[in-house]
Structure 1
């Protein structure tokens, strides 16, 4: 039985996607930032916005610009990364940590927490406040990592627009906050600056889940709303890093739309609080 040529012809890739793949390859070779396994659907949207900002018609033109000018790459970088967060985002997650995870972490003489993909710091400071209220600050060391140096600098500064504080406060109370969020910040630089004491025992570092390796032994890894921007290959790589970094019976926290169910490493974890996306290493 003969087969038509059309039956075996590969699916046609759009010119835009071809140019996007070439752009990502150029970024990797020129600047050593690897976005080749990020979600294509998300990158498409962001690159269209980037073209508007640069006033260009094609990604090939954009590639030519960033290859010749590192300042243009710096402008593009914020479109390649996603910096969207809130303090105590998804309060049920932080409440579950408070009520179910921290009582177990309290049994350790010292604790290490890795906030992977910390963005501009909202989740880090949420965790610091949580650990402080549960009396664990003095024995805990936090590692906050991201690939974006500007985001890391903003995270370390801990300054946020005043119009965001009401939402932060609402989330904090829903997460079981024991005081007033206003106890942790003061007005400064036209915004709200979180207390310098929160910066104690925090290490900020550049780290890529796409190219770098494990650098610590952690009791809790919190990487929320990051994996949704990766393809399956990179998701598996990242979860593999977390699995190797965690101590036996250590905890991994993911975002509300993320799961280990389809990960190559799912058998390495138990669903500790599935609804809140908290997993425990076996």
Structure 2
């Protein structure tokens, strides 16, 4: 059983997260508490509250504040083709094996504002796999899903995206995949033709679909150990035998309780492969 927090701010945070769950069904209680305290403090300022207790009062009595709060708690800073060496390994070592399946399902878990999703779709298009792939982009935040669906990014981020794409082994020009106007870049609508956007919580929801690649980069670092264990268990049960799991550079399945279901495929890039001989264990 968890020890009660001794710090008053942490106690306020716990009470606020309890209120958010019991009143509205959003469960952040398994997230890393220090990370949540920082995010809640930022949300408190953005929402004009003098204390976390005041924010808790608004959560309980002003339902209209909840979507913005959830968006602030789940926001991730990302970039297209972030960590190019990961994408290069995916392109050179994983894609040739994915190509042996007649049809593919890819799950982007915690898609945030869509940078990781569009990177995958572009990579699959360049490698000739897009037409036989369905991409599932999920997030707990409705606001994040709307931004991902829109696929519009500030123009000043495009040079970074372009350089990352080049270093990832991209075969095309990134500019082939977006239209620039009015200080923003809008990703081509055709990139969403094979994407299904859906609300899904790694905290409380079940396996999303049988998939061949799960991409969940830089999400688990915000989870406590129990929630990390649950999420990796979902990925394990979602993946077809021989399917792949991609995590962020500071994430690992080593202490998740599910490591024996995977082999390190490209260990330095945190790419794992679902073993063919291990039975899925639920719980």
Q: TM-score, normalised by structure 2?
A: 0.93
Aligned to 2:128: 135
1:275 aligned to 2:249? no
1:227 aligns with 2:214: no
Q: Distance in 2 between matches of 1:57 and 1:232?
A: 31
Q: Is the 8 A contact 2:5 2:11 kept in 1?
A: no
Give 1:1-282 correspondences, 5 Å limit: 13-188=6-181, 190-282=183-275
- Which residue of structure 2 lines up, in the alignment, with residue 7 of structure 1? none
User: Structure 1 pair 182/17, CA: closer, same or farther in 2 (3 Å)?
Assistant: same
Where structure 1 has 5 or more consecutive residues not aligned to the other structure, the ranges are: 1-9
Q: Relative to structure 2, which stretch is displaced further, 269-278 or 70-79? A: 70-79
C-alpha contact 1:83 1:151 (8 A) present in aligned 2: no
Q: Which moved more, 1:247-256 or 1:66-75?
A: 66-75
User: How far is 1:273 from its partner?
Assistant: 0.4
1:87-136 per-position Cα deviation (integer Å, ceiling 9, x unaligned): 00011111001000000010000010000000000010000010001001
Determine the C-alpha separation between the residues in 2 that align with 1:61 and 1:274: 45
Work out the CA distance in 2 between the residues paired with 1:184 and 1:54: 36
Query: Counterpart of 1:262 in 2: which secondary structure?
Result: coil
1:19 CA displacement: 1.4
- The Cα shift of 1:189 comes to 5.3
- The higher radius of gyration belongs to 1
Structure 2 residues without counterparts, runs of 5 or longer: 276-283
RMSD: 1.3
Please give the secondary structure, in 1, of the residue aligned with 2:28: coil
Q: Is the Cα–Cα contact under 8 Å of residues 116 and 145 in structure 1 kept in the other structure? A: yes
Asked whether the 8 Å contact 1:111–1:140 carries over to 2, the reply is yes
**SS in structure 1 at match of 2:253:** coil
Deviation at 1:190, TM superposition (A): 3.6
**What TM-score does the superposition give when structure 1 sets the normalisation length?**
0.94
Q: CA deviation at 1:54?
A: 3.5
Offset of residue 261 of structure 1: 1.4
- The answer on whether the counterparts of 1:227 and 1:235 sit within 8 Å (CA) in structure 2 is yes
Q: Secondary structure at the match of 2:171?
A: coil
Deviations for 1:24-70, whole angstroms, at most 9, x for unmatched residues? Answer: 11100111010000111111112222232334332222111111101
Deviation at 1:11, TM superposition (A): 7.9
Conserved 8 A contact 2:75-2:144 = no
